[in-house]
């Protein structure tokens, strides 16, 4: 067994891996960018190494620096977590070349199954069903239009080198092809250093179900249950649960056996997740994530295993402790708590200081976090603050416990997705299994938890986002879901419908009095400019695209009129509140 492991990641997953290392009696080594020097994952590790200044490409994605940190610290192995270099075959090769152990599959398995195009070829070889897709990577929007003409719309363009919704766009018509293709390539390049994309026919009434697989170096390959991850926005998961509810035993077994065949075919070792789209009693291979998943805790809760510890033991050469296809005990459900403003369903990244973070305690509750009170969610990285997981003897109990936990989760300083998670978990469609991957964006109204306004304030050279709640009376928002201070029941509106009405009225007043000023809503980098001075625009036209926290965010015209001076260009990094342009003309009704 290893005595010291370097964790090549940050945030919640780095904290999580360090916890399992401690339980196994292994020292943990954290790495961090200069901006992350005070972060929780640095504080909880036994040792920490500074990878230097600059963007992630110069530290968390810098393979030579990470290898050097591992060697200098005396670590024998490297755990990549999820994201960053976790599915990078060159990283796995470099780790091995340095005489260290990569806690994950081989470079061959990563490049084959982590590359979505190559993975489809493996699926064909082992007779796993596939949704219609391109024969390989595509190089232009013209390929999108040709595929759409043959197979129909909507079409999904997807990054070959990664997941997490980055580099993925739904295309509903040929008119959207160019912008969507360009955006997917840009986002994939920024997130994974690889802009290769491919196409799939988008299934409009399907659920997203994934199977946890595990393999060791002794020839053992098993599947450890399944998870439903259908509740998504912008192709990023918000709620996950295990086992996937409502599946027949035959369908569940067929997917599990298919996942095992895929893993065996490429000589897989370690933890992996095979993702499927499920429609009625049919399933289609989507992709394989050659790493631990964000949502792995729901599998741990219902199977009584520590999947991170199992990864470490397998990497050290031990046999799987999971040698039978474990049957889940009860049900578990997870809500991702991101620093995002869910107003109008936009889920805009909202970095800033976390003034207070108090996790709920109680039977069947667990909170995996990358932050504590006083920490800051940086705009440089993803927006995940933590994950609230609830389990129970059945799905109904797990949902009730999740809702109770969300009510008692206290986060102040930044808006979070907790209010959205409450709306989802209490929605009749969700509770009665009437949902698909399109359900959240098409059917759920997020207007209720919206703060009525936000202001960008500069103090001492730093920009802060300050929520303003005048239309809710004196309260700081709804409960403790992340919009300001916790409130007493008497402060909250008694009638949710009336609250929604006031919110919409406040929004209408803001729009009606707009002076046409367009500002950066958050710190980020301009990746697209769609307008030039003197151009006529309609209300809602996308003027700029700003990349922040690994997500692209459209900035729309607040009114119809004529574009004035454009003060930002592609590649510029801007503070929140920076003026981009001003529109003059008649405001839209």
Q: Is 256 left (phi over 0), alpha (psi -120 to 50) or beta?
A: alpha
Neighbours of 219 (CB within 10 A): 9
Q: What is the pLDDT of residue 349?
A: 86
Beta strands in 331-417 (DSSP E): 331-338, 340-341, 348-349, 352-353, 356-358, 365-369, 376-377, 384-392, 410-412
Q: Quote the CA–CA distance of 37 and 49 in Å, as a whole number.
A: 9
pLDDT band at 513 (very low <50, low <70, confident <90, very high): low
Decide if 276 contacts 217 (C-beta within 8 A): no
Predicted TM-score (pTM) of this structure = 0.78
> Angle at Cα 308 formed by Cα 302 and Cα 309, nearest 5°?
100
pLDDT at 400 over 80: yes
CA gap 541, 124 in Å, rounded: 42
Q: Residues 87-98: what's their mean pLDDT?
A: 97
Q: Give residue-wise pLDDT tens across range 202-225.
A: 887 899 999 999 999 999 999 999
Say which residue, 194 or 362, is predicted with more confidence. 362
| Angstrom distances, CA of residue 194 to CA of 60, 155, 159, 328, 460 | 16, 21, 8, 37, 38
Kindly state the average pLDDT of the residues 32-51: 98
Q: Assess contact for 294 and 82: CB atoms under 8 A.
A: yes
Sign of torsion, CA 87 90 93 94?
negative
CA nearest neighbour of 160 among 103, 207, 118:
118
- Give the range with max mean pLDDT: 346-360, 465-479, 546-560: 346-360
Which of 479-488, 502-511, 540-549 ranks highest by mean pLDDT?
A: 540-549
| Tokens linked to 513 | 């009095």
Question: Residues 461-505: pLDDT tens digits?
Answer: 444 445 443 332 222 222 223 322 222 333 333 343 443 343 344
For 281-316, the pLDDT digits (tens) are 899 998 999 999 999 999 999 999 999 999 999 999
Q: What is the pLDDT of residue 146?
A: 92
pLDDT for residue 448: 53
Task: Compare 260 and 346 and report the one with higher pLDDT.
Answer: 260
Inter-residue contact 577 to 542 (CB < 8 Å):
no
Q: Match 């990094």 to its residue by tokens.
A: 573
Buried b (16+ CB within 10 A) or exposed e, 73-88: bebbbbbbbbbbbbbb
What is the reported pLDDT for 586?
Answer: 61
> Would you call 280 exposed, middle or buried from its count of C-beta atoms within 10 A (0-12, 13-18, 19+)?
exposed
pLDDT above 60 for 509? no
The residues, any chain, with a CB within 8 Å of residue 432's CB and separated by 6 or more, are none
Cis-peptide into 154, omega within 30 deg: yes
Q: Which helix (H) or strand (E) holds 464?
A: strand 462-468
| pLDDT number for residue 6 | 98
Give me the chain's average pLDDT, please. Answer: 86
| pLDDT tens, position by position, 120-153 | 899 999 999 998 788 778 889 999 999 999 888 8
């Amino acid at each position: 067994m290893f005595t010291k492991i370097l964790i090549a990641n940050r945030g919640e997953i780095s904290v999580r891996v360090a916890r399992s290392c401690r339980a196994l009696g292994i020292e943990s080594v954290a790495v961090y960018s200069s901006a992350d020097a005070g972060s929780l994952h640095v504080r909880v590790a036994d040792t920490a190494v500074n990878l230097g200044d600059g963007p992630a490409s110069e530290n968390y994605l810098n393979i030579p620096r990470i290898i050097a940190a591992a060697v200098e610290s005396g670590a024998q192995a490297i755990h990549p977590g999820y994201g960053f270099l976790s599915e990078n075959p060159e990283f796995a090769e470099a780790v091995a070349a340095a005489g260290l152990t990569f806690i994950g599959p081989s470079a061959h398995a990563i490049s084959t199954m982590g590359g979505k195009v190559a993975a489809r070829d493996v699926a064909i070889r082992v007779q796993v069903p596939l949704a219609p897709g391109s024969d390989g990577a595509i190089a232009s929007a013209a390929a999108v239009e040709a595929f759409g003409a043959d197979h129909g719309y909507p079409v999904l363009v997807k990054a070959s080198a990664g997941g997490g919704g980055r580099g993925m766009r739904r295309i509903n018509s040929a008119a959207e092809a160019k912008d969507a293709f360009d955006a997917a390539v840009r986002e994939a390049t920024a997130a994974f250093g690889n802009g290769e994309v491919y196409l799939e026919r988008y299934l409009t009434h399907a659920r997203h179900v994934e199977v946890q697989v595990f393999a060791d170096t002794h020839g053992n390959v098993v599947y450890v249950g399944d998870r439903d991850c259908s509740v998504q926005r912008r192709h990023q998961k918000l709620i996950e649960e295990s086992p996937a509810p409502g599946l027949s035993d035959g369908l569940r077994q067929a997917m599990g056996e298919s996942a095992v065949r895929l893993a065996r075919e490429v000589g897989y070792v370690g933890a992996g997740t095979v993702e499927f789209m499920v429609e009625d009693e049919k399933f289609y291979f989507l992709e394989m994530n050659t790493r631990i998943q964000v949502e792995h805790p729901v599998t741990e809760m219902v199977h009584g295993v520590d999947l991170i510890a199992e990864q470490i033991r397998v990497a050290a050469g031990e046999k799987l402790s999971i040698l039978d296809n474990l049957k889940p005990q009860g049900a578990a459900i997870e809500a991702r708590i991101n620093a995002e403003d869910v107003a109008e369903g936009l889920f805009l990244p909202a970095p800033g200081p976390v003034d207070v973070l108090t996790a709920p305690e109680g039977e069947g509750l667990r909170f995996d976090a990358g932050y504590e009170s006083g920490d800051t969610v940086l705009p440089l990285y993803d927006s995940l603050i933590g994950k609230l997981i609830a389990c129970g003897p059945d799905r109904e109990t797990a949902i009730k416990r999740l809702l109770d936990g969300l009510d008692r989760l206290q986060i102040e300083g930044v808006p979070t997705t907790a209010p959205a998670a409450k709306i989802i978990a209490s929605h009749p469609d969700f509770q009665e299994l009437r949902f698909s991957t399109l359900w959240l964006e098409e059917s759920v109204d997020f207007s209720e938890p919206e703060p009525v306004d936000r202001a960008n304030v500069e103090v001492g050279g730093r920009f802060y986002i300050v929520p303003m709640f005048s239309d809710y009376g004196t309260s700081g928002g709804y409960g403790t879901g992340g919009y300001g201070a916790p409130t007493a029941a008497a402060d909250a509106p008694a009638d949710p419908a009336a609250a929604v009405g006031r919110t919409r009225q406040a929004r209408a007043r803001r729009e009606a009095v707009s002076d046409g000023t367009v500002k950066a809503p958050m710190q980020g980098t301009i990746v697209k400019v769609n307008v030039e001075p003197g151009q006529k625009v309609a209300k809602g036209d996308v003027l700029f695209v700003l990349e922040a926290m690994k997500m692209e965010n459209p900035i729309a015209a607040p009114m119809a009129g004529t574009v004035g001076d454009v003060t930002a260009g592609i590649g510029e990094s801007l503070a929140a509140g920076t003026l981009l342009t001003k529109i003059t003309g008649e405001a839209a009704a």
